[in-house]
C-alpha cells in the first residue's frame, strides 16, 4: 500500500540519477521545439523527465521529487502557484489519509494480527492449508492497511511455522521431508505476493488506485466510488490470489505435506498471547465496520435521505476522526488513537499523490496529453488488443520502477489516448493501474518482495521463475476482466 523505508546506502544508480535528472531537464528545455506542441510543452516535458529520472533511480526520497511541480510550474509560467498547489489538497489525498488513520488503529491495537491468526486457523494445518490461510489473511489485511506493514506482520508468524516444520524439537531424529523446502519457499512467496495483490481489491488498498481515481476525476470529472472499484477490484484480486496459490502449491513448488504437528498449538499460543478481545479492539472493529458499511452503501443511503453528502472522502475522514474521538477510557484521557500515533503514517505518500496529480495537470494544460493521444489514435484503433498491449507495458514497467510513479506518468497519457479515441477512459486506465501493482519477479520490485526475500528461504531464481509465470497469468486475468466486467459495467 505504501513505500518501504529505504536504507541510507547510496548506490551508483542514485549518484548517476542525481545529476542525470537536472541534465535531462536542461537538454529538453534547449532541444525540444517550442512550436511543436505548445510554448509550455518543453518546460513540462523537461520537468517530467527530471521527475521520472529521480523516481526511477531514487536519487532523492520519492516524495521530495513530488514537490518539483509545485516549484517548477509557477517558475516557468506553466500555471499559477494557486493552481500548482491545488492538487496537493485533492479530495483523493484526504480519502487515503482517512484510510491511513483507520489502518493505524488496526495495527496499534493488534486487531489485524488477531484477524490474520483466526483466518489461518480456518484453512487447516496441512502444508497447502497453511499456505492458503496465510494468503487469504495477508490479502484481506492488505485491502485495508499497508502492503509493507502486512508483509512485515505476517513474516514472523510464517517464519515460526517454517521453523516448527524444519526443526521440530519433538522429533530431532526425523529425516527432512522433500517437500519442506518447497513449503518454506511457497509460504514466503505467497505472503509477499498476496500482500501486493490484495491491495488491488479496494480503492484505498494501494496508492496506484488512489492516484488513478484522482487523475480520472481531475481530467474527466468522473468519480469512482469505493463500491464501484470493489466490483472490479475484488474479482481481480481474488482470481490473482487463487492463481498464485495454484501456481505455487500445485505447479512450481508442490510440498505435499500432511497435517503439520504442532502448528495448531503454535497458532493457539499466539492467539492466547493476544488474550481475549479487548475493549479497544472492539471499538476499532466497530468504527472499521461502520466505515466499510458506509463505503459500500453510500449511494443507496444518499438516495433514501435525498442528500449528496456521503462520498468516499468524507466517509474515510469520518472514520479516521472517530479513531481520535472515541474514548477507550475517557476519565484517563485514553482514545483509540492519539496524534503522536500519526508519526507512523505515510505522509510522504500523500505528498507523492499531490505531485503526481500536479504533473498530470501540467501534461494536460500544455497540450502534451492530447498530442500523444492524437498520435497513438492515428497509429491504431481502440480494440481489446490495445488494452492488452497497455497492460503488458504496465506490468513490465512495474518491475523496474515505483508503481505510484508509473501510474502518475503513464495513466495521464493513456487517458489522452482514450480521449482522442472517444473511449471511456476507465476502460483503458483501470487495467493499466491494476497492472502497475503486479511486480512479482524480483526482491527489489516491491517492498513485500524484499521483506519475504530477507527470510532466507527464497532464491532469486525461484522468485524470477514464479514471478514471470504469475506476471503472464496476471496480464491475462486483468485483460479478461477488462473486456468483460469493466465493459459491462462502464
Tell me, what's the pLDDT at 300?
84
Contact 165, 125 (CB under 8 A): no
How many angstroms separate the CA atoms of 426 and 415, rounded? 8
- Residue 155 is predicted with a pLDDT of 81
Grid cell in block for residue 471:
506476471
Residue 465 lies in a domain: no
Helix (H, G, I), strand (E, B) or coil at 334: strand
Query: 10 Å Cβ neighbour count for 219?
Result: 22
What lies within 8 Å, CB to CB, of 375 at 6+ separation is none
Domain tally, the chain: 1
The candidate with the shortest Cα–Cα distance to 107, out of 273, 333, 288, 374, is 288
Task: Single out the residue of 461, 411, 465 nearest to residue 435, CA to CA.
Answer: 411
> For 302-336, how does the pLDDT look when each residue is reduced to its tens digit (9 = 90+)?
888 877 778 878 888 999 999 999 999 999 999 99
Query: How buried is 10 (Cβ within 10 angstroms: 0-12 exposed, 13-18 middle, 19+ buried)?
Result: exposed
In a domain, 56, yes or no: no
CA atoms within 13 A on the CB side of 339: 0
Q: Does residue 311 form part of some domain?
A: yes
Q: Is residue 397 part of a domain?
A: no
Contact 253, 185 (CB under 8 A): yes
Q: Going by C-beta distance under 8 Å and a sequence separation of 6 or more, which residues neighbour residue 125?
A: 259, 260, 263, 264
Q: Angle 132-160-443 (CA atoms, 0-180°, nearest 5)?
A: 70
pLDDT given for residue 165 in this prediction = 67
For 133, residues 6+ apart whose C-beta sits below 8 A from its C-beta are 119, 120, 121, 122, 123, 124
Cα separations (Å) of 118 from 31, 80, 260, 272, 274?
61, 53, 17, 12, 12
Whether 133 maps to a domain, the answer reads: yes
Per-residue pLDDT, 425: 92
What count of residues does the chain have? 490
**pLDDT, tens digit, for every residue of 329-383?**
999 999 999 999 988 887 887 887 788 888 878 887 888 877 776 776 666 677 8
In a domain, 213, yes or no: yes
The parent domain of residue 212 ranges over 92-344
Q: Which of 396, 34, 398, 381 is nearest to 207 (CA)?
A: 398
Contact indicator for 40, 78 with CB cutoff of 8 Å: yes
In the chain, what are the helix, strand and coil shares in percent, each to the nearest 5? 75, 0, 25
Residue 253 placed within a domain = yes
Residue of 183, 198, 186 lying closest to 138 (CA atoms): 198
Residues 6+ apart with CB under 8 A from 83: 73, 361
Task: Please report, in angstroms and rounded to a whole number, the separation of the first and last CA atoms in the chain.
Answer: 26
| Res 403: pLDDT | 79
Other Cβ atoms within 10 Å of 225 Cβ, number: 18
Question: What pLDDT, on a 0 to 100 scale, did the predictor assign at position 454?
Answer: 76
- Global pTM value: 0.73
In contact, 232 and 490? CB cutoff 8 Å: no
pLDDT tens digits, the chain, 490 residues: what are they? 444 444 455 578 788 889 999 999 999 999 988 888 888 989 999 998 998 888 878 788 878 998 999 999 999 999 999 999 998 888 878 877 887 888 788 878 888 778 777 777 777 667 888 899 889 989 988 888 778 778 877 887 788 778 766 654 444 444 556 678 888 899 999 999 999 899 999 988 888 898 899 889 888 888 888 889 999 999 999 999 999 999 999 999 988 877 766 667 777 887 888 888 889 999 998 998 898 888 878 878 888 887 777 887 888 899 999 999 999 999 999 999 999 998 888 788 788 778 888 887 888 788 887 777 677 666 667 788 888 988 998 888 787 667 777 888 788 888 888 888 888 999 999 999 999 888 888 776 777 887 888 788 888 888 889 999 999 999 999 999 999 988 888 7
Residue 429 lies in a domain: no
What is the phi/psi pair of residue 77, to 5°? Answer: 80, 15
Query: By three-state DSSP, how is residue 329 classified?
Result: strand
- Cα–Cα distance, 306 to 40 (Å, whole number): 45
Q: What angle do CA 38, 57, 22 make, to 5 degrees?
A: 45
Query: The C-alpha cell of 483 is what?
Result: 473486456
Amino acid at each position: 500500500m505504501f513505500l518501504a523505508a529505504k536504507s541510507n546506502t547510496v548506490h551508483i544508480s542514485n549518484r548517476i540519477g542525481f545529476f542525470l535528472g537536472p541534465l535531462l531537464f536542461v537538454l529538453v528545455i534547449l532541444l525540444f521545439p517550442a512550436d511543436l506542441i505548445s510554448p509550455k510543452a518543453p518546460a513540462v516535458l523537461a520537468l517530467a523527465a527530471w521527475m521520472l529520472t529521480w523516481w526511477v533511480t531514487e536519487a532523492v526520497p520519492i516524495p521530495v521529487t513530488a514537490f518539483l511541480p509545485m516549484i517548477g510550474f509557477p517558475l516557468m509560467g506553466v500555471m499559477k502557484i494557486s493552481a500548482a498547489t491545488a492538487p496537493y489538497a485533492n479530495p483523493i489525498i484526504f480519502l487515503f489519509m482517512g484510510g491511513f488513520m483507520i489502518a493505524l488503529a488496526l495495527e496499534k491495537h493488534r486487531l489485524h494480527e488477531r484477524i490474520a491468526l483466526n483466518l489461518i486457523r480456518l484453512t487447516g494445518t496441512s502444508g497447502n492449508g497453511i499456505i492458503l490461510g496465510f494468503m487469504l489473511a495477508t490479502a484481506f489485511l492488505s485491502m485495508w492497511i499497508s502492503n509493507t506493514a502486512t508483509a512485515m506482520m505476517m513474516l514472523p508468524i510464517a517464519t515460526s511455522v517454517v521453523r516448527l516444520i524444519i526443526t521440530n524439537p519433538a522429533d530431532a531424529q526425523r529425516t527432512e521431508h522433500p517437500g519442506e523446502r518447497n513449503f518454506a519457499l511457497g509460504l514466503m512467496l505467497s505472503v509477499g505476493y498476496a500482500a501486493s495483490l490484495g491491495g488491488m481489491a479496494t480503492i484505498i488498498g494501494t496508492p496506484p488506485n488512489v492516484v488513478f481515481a484522482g487523475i480520472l476525476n481531475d481530467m474527466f470529472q468522473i468519480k469512482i466510488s469505493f463500491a464501484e472499484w470493489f466490483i472490479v477490484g475484488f474479482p481481480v484480486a481474488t482470481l490473482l490470489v487463487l492463481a498464485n496459490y495454484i501456481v505455487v502449491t500445485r505447479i512450481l513448488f508442490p510440498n505435499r505435506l500432511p497435517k503439520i504437528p504442532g502448528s495448531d498449538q503454535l497458532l493457539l499460543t499466539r492467539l492466547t498471547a493476544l488474550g481475549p478481545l479487548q475493549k479497544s479492539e472492539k471499538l476499532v472493529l466497530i468504527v472499521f465496520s461502520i466505515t466499510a458499511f458506509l463505503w459500500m452503501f453510500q449511494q443507496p443511503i444518499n438516495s433514501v435521505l435525498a442528500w449528496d453528502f456521503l462520498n468516499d472522502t468524507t466517509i474515510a475522514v469520518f472514520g479516521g476522526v472517530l479513531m481520535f474521538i472515541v474514548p477507550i477510557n475517557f476519565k484517563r484521557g485514553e482514545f483509540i488513537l492519539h496524534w503522536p500515533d500519526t508519526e507512523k503514517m505515510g505522509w510522504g505518500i500523500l505528498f507523492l499523490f499531490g505531485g503526481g496529480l500536479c504533473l498530470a495537470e501540467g501534461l494536460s494544460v500544455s497540450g502534451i496529453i492530447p498530442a500523444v493521444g492524437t498520435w497513438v489514435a492515428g497509429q491504431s484503433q481502440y480494440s481489446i488488443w490495445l488494452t492488452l498491449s497497455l497492460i503488458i507495458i504496465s506490468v513490465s514497467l512495474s518491475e523496474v520502477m515505483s508503481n505510484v510513479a508509473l501510474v502518475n506518468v503513464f495513466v495521464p497519457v493513456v487517458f489522452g489516448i482514450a480521449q482522442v479515441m472517444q473511449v471511456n477512459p476507465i476502460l483503458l486506465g483501470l487495467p493499466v493501474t491494476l497492472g502497475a501493482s503486479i511486480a512479482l519477479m524480483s526482491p527489489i520490485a516491491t517492498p513485500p518482495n524484499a521483506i519475504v526475500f530477507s527470510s532466507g528461504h527464497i532464491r532469486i531464481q525461484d522468485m524470477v521463475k514464479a514471478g514471470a509465470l504469475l506476471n503472464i497469468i496476471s496480464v491475462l486475468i486483468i485483460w479478461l476482466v477488462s473486456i468483460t466486467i469493466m465493459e459491462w459495467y462502464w
